[in-house]
Amino acid sequence: MTPIGVERMGDQADTLGDRDVLRLENLDTDLLPPEAALRTTERAVRDDDANSYLPFLGHDRLRAAATALVERNGHLDVGHYDWRRQCFISAGGLSGILNTLLALLEPGDEVVLTSPTYVGLINRVRLAGAVPRFVRLVPTAGGWRLDR
């Protein structure tokens, strides 16, 4: 597995002194979360039920809400997915991504990733035996868009 060179890339980005350069090499940016997210996080830290790895599949209310969001955003019928059988909440995003890739991919499958992307995703695709393929993203006034 090729080392991802996180420190080297971060050092290079810092030498530019350009605030428009986002530190995506380790998901480290200087963008502050919205105040509502900070308040919600502070409340959750004080909530004992929100500070456990149990249950292993995630809290039922969160699984049901996540499934409903995917259905709504995907313009799918309510109940298209069964949250009890088809949804889990992982303790970490990247471990959840790796587990999903390992479960779904066969050796040689191709996985579309955006460029730029978090370099750790590339190695996770390779760990699953798949081949990363890249689609370029370009910054625009309206945010990042696929390069067409």
Work out the percent of the chain whose per-residue pLDDT is above 90.
55
> Looking at the predicted structure, is the pLDDT value of residue 53 above 90?
no
Contact residues for 117 (Cβ-Cβ < 8 A; gap 6+): 24, 134
* Alpha carbons 52 and 95: distance in angstroms, whole number: 17
User: pLDDT tens-digit profile of 87-103?
Assistant: 988 878 888 899 999 99
33 has pLDDT over 70: yes
pLDDT recorded at residue 49: 76
Q: What pTM was computed for the model?
A: 0.59
Residue-level pLDDT at 130: 98
pLDDT at 85 exceeding the cut of 80: yes
The DSSP code sequence of 14-37 is HHHT-TT---GGGT---PPPPHHH
